[in-house]
Amino acid sequence: MMTQDSLKEIKAEILEIVSKSLVPEDCAHAKNVLEWVLRLKPDADIALQLAALGHDIERAIPERRLNRNDYDDFDAFKRDHAENSARIIHELLHKYEIDEEIVTKVCHLIRHHEHGKENDTEAYVLNDADSLSFFDLNLPYYFERMGEAETFFRMQWGYRRLSERARTYLQNVTFEAEPLNDFLEQIKTSEHESSKCAVFQIFNSAS
């Protein structure tokens, strides 16, 4: 059985680890993802809240962190990143008296935070919250570090994983760095065009 005190302790330990990340915005991102989770699902349970705070934890631990350059495929990298974070959170949670059911759920949500999980609304809430936070908070930092081509790719990847509902939050977003506004417009237009195309194909094959 978990008390409010141990819940506070777990959250503090996660944030303490994440605050040491070499990626300077990681701690703010963890808190921001939790805020987005609560905006998308105000009754988010303890497991979903802990998953929001700890989903990127592997990035904060240099000796366990995966290296993006070891992967040709960005999706494979993101899958392993999610799996690695789930493994670390599993170890961390077992230091506390916490129901196994909650541990299993936190790990499951983290494991699927990059791509969602079919028929699992909460996994998609975390997936949306993470991606919205990328646009809301991380993007200017990412742009400064990675440059235009990589940022465009990352924005497109992030936009594609957003649900229709989550995309509405990006309707009136603007960025200080002008190219980012342009990139977002291009991505929205091309996604809109390709979804029209997909509907057209379904319609055509049905007729």
Binding site for Fe ion (CB under 5 A): 56, 130
CA distance to 9, 49, 112, per residue, from 128 (Å): 26, 14, 11
> Which C-beta is closer to Fe ion: that of 2 or that of 115?
115
- Please, which residue, 56 or 128, has the CB nearer to Fe ion? 56
Q: 147's torsion region: left (phi>0), alpha (psi -120 to 50) or beta?
A: left
Q: In the complex with Fe ion, which residue's Cβ is closer, 128 or 130?
A: 130
Closest CA to 51 of 118, 124, 1, 134: 124
- The least CB distance from residue 130 to Fe ion, in Å, is 4
Please report how close the Cβ of residue 169 comes to Fe ion at its closest, in angstroms: 16
6 vs 90, beta carbon nearer Fe ion: 90
Q: Taking the complex as a whole, how short is the minimal distance between the CB of residue 156 and Fe ion, in angstroms?
A: 17
Query: What would the DSSP string read from start to end of 27-96?
Result: HHHHHHHHHHHHHH-TT--HHHHHHHHHTTGGGG-TTT---GGG-S-HHHHHHHHHHHHHHHHHHHHTTS
- Considering the complex, what minimum distance in angstroms separates the CB of residue 178 from Fe ion? 25
Residue with smaller CB distance to Fe ion, 93 or 114? 114
Q: In whole angstroms, how close is the CB of 24 to Fe ion at the nearest point? A: 14
Angle value at C-alpha 59, between 43 and 51, nearest 5 degrees: 15
